[in-house]
Amino acid sequence: MEKIVKRKFLLCMFLGLASVFTANAAVNSDDEIKSRIAPIGKVHVAGAKAETASAGGPRSGADIYGTACVACHSSGVLGAPKFQDAADWAPRLEKGFDTVWQNAINGINAMPPRGTCADCSDDEIKAAIEHMTEGL
């Protein structure tokens, strides 16, 4: 009789421990599944203001020019004013710096809004224009 009681006790202990580990494994699996299927980005609705990512502060005008503007403004592609070329920039700057800045933000002619720097802030766009027109 004592053997039967011991076996039942051990069986109950085994089943109890097995159910605890199984439940714990199921919880971990659900968490892992949720992390694997979580969205990796956000959807931006038309008309809503988009968030801009920051890497620790504004980038310099030279950095923006070197990564986003140089492709068109170094050679004057599709009528883009060339880097520090007074003849190219004069007619634009006559309209005022703020007009040039707003045109860069909103796009003009062949230049898309913000050029090729969709993640640039307004101040970074301004710094890039200041860099391209420095000394003119």
Identify the CATH number of the domain in which residue 127 sits: 1.10.760.10
Question: Which position has the higher pLDDT, 44 or 89?
Answer: 89
Is 51 among the domain residues?
A: no
Q: What percent of the chain has a predicted confidence (pLDDT) above 70? A: 89
Are residues 29 and 78 both part of a single domain? no
Is 78 among the domain residues?
A: yes
Are residues 71 and 122 both part of a single domain? yes
The confidence score (pLDDT) of residue 116 equals 92
Are residues 76 and 128 both part of a single domain? yes
Are residues 31 and 73 both part of a single domain? no
The answer to which of 16-30, 56-70, 82-96, 108-122 has the lowest mean pLDDT is 16-30
Question: Which position has the higher pLDDT, 126 or 50?
Answer: 126
Are residues 35 and 80 both part of a single domain? no
Are residues 82 and 115 both part of a single domain? yes
Residues 6+ apart with CB under 8 A from 80: 72, 73, 110, 111
Overall domain count for the chain: 2
Q: Cβ distance 127 to 58 under 8 Å?
A: yes
Segment 114-134 shows an average pLDDT of 95
Render pLDDT for 47-70 as a digit per residue (tens, 0 to 9).
877 766 655 678 999 999 999 999
Are residues 34 and 65 both part of a single domain? no
| Alpha-carbon distance values, 63 to 19, 52, 66, 70 (Å) | 59, 17, 5, 10
Are residues 119 and 67 both part of a single domain? yes
Render pLDDT for 7-45 as a digit per residue (tens, 0 to 9).
888 888 888 777 776 655 555 677 788 888 888 877 777
Question: Which position has the higher pLDDT, 113 or 24?
Answer: 113
Instruction: Report how far residue 43's alpha carbon sits from residue 102's, in angstroms, rounded to the nearest whole number.
Output: 26
Mean pLDDT of the chain: 87
Name residue, tokens 């069986």: 11
Are residues 36 and 65 both part of a single domain? no
Name residue, tokens 């659900």: 30
Are residues 75 and 115 both part of a single domain? yes
Residue 101 has pLDDT above 70, yes or no: yes
Is 18 among the domain residues?
A: yes
| Alpha-carbon distance values, 69 to 28, 88, 110 (Å) | 48, 15, 13
Residue type at position 88 = D
Reported pTM: 0.59
The parent domain of residue 24 ranges over: 1-41
